[in-house]
A = this chain, B = another copy of it.
Amino acid sequence: MNDVAREAGVALKTVSRFVNGERNIDPVLAGRIGAAIGTLGYRRNLAAASLRPGRSSRTIGLIISDLANPYYSTIARAIELLAREHGFLLTTASSDEEGDRHDALVDRLLGQQVEGLIVVPPRQAGRAWSQVPGPVPPVVFLDRPGDLAGADTILADNAGGARAATVELLAQGARSVAFVGDSRAISTMAERYRGYADALAEHGLAPDPALVSAAAHSKDQAAAVVAELMASGAADAVFAANNRASLGAVLAFRESGRRLPLIGFDDFEAAALLTPAVSVVSQDVTEMGRLAAELVLDRLSGAPARSDRLQILPTRLILRGSERVGHAAGGDR
């Protein structure tokens, strides 16, 4: 910038005015400055500019568990979209559900002067937020509750969605609905289980431990669980509490040539294409991301914090055919 000023024969401040698009500047000088910028190949250093108090990096940070997971990349995209509309850049990082890595990313992003943070708390919790050194900018927790007072939190209605799915399976005549999911140490899974149990209770039923599995970490494990349930004849319907469980159930059905009524939690690309098409509890993932970005940007623009710190987004039950009794193939035709 100094070089440009010298080249154009003006003072530093005039160049600063020029590059900031200020109006009160002599057209002649402006022309000289523009020319100097061109010949010198000058580019503004935004990092240096944001050093000034009151100025900011216009960058927000996003920490999710895995960017390759379509669920999170859709969220990231929605955040990025709104961020860009407001002139913000997004720095994204994956924690792999590890507390240490998550904590390191928080420190790094904060050190890098992000102005806001959108975070999916990792399963393996690390340091408490109260122990983060230094001032913490606006934080929004996504998908799972966090432990920072004053932060906004956005959750899906996991219990409500699970309840709706289970109710639907019961309405189809099922009496022994299996719950195929992951560990209930995960908050979302605990909520889904709660909704499942509530639905059973409404029908005068209680969860049967033989029908509840928390071992479906992968789709293959889920497939084994479902195959076992079918072999023993214990279950007459399956609520798959996550994506991998849904895929596992489909695999098991496919293997055995038979199937049980099925509803899964979380939509997936293949769901509508399978035979029968898989019914799911769907979250509005894009809306979650959009809302998270909106909350951060609102607080950055000085808007007062909302009183409702916790927002629970509704889920939608999408019935495609797999919830009904039927054969392994052709159930939807």
Interface residues of A (CB under 8 A from B): 37-38, 41-48, 50-51, 57, 59, 66-68, 70, 73-74, 76-78, 80-81, 84, 89-94, 107-113, 133-135, 247, 250-251, 254, 268-270, 273-275, 329-330
Contact = CB atoms under 8 A, between A and B. Distances in A.
Given A47-B113, A70-B73, A274-B273, A133 B57 contact: no
Copies of this chain held together in the complex: 2
Given A247-B273, A269-B270, A92 B111 contact: no
Contact of A67 (B37, B38, B76, B112): B76
Contacts of A47: 47, 50-51, 57, 112-113
Given A51-B51, A59-B91, A68-B76, 19 more contacts: A37-B133, A38-B133, A42-B134, A43-B107, A45-B113, A47-B47, A47-B50, A47-B57, A68-B77, A70-B73, A70-B269, A81-B94, A89-B91, A91-B91, A251-B273, A254-B273, A269-B269, A270-B270, A329-B330
A218 to B, nearest CB: 15
Mostly helix, strand, loop or mixed at chain A's interface? mixed
Given A92-B92, A133-B42, A74 B68 contact: yes
Given A38-B133, A43-B111, A43-B133, A250 B273 contact: yes
Contacts of A251: 273
Contact of A329 (B43, B135, B329): B329
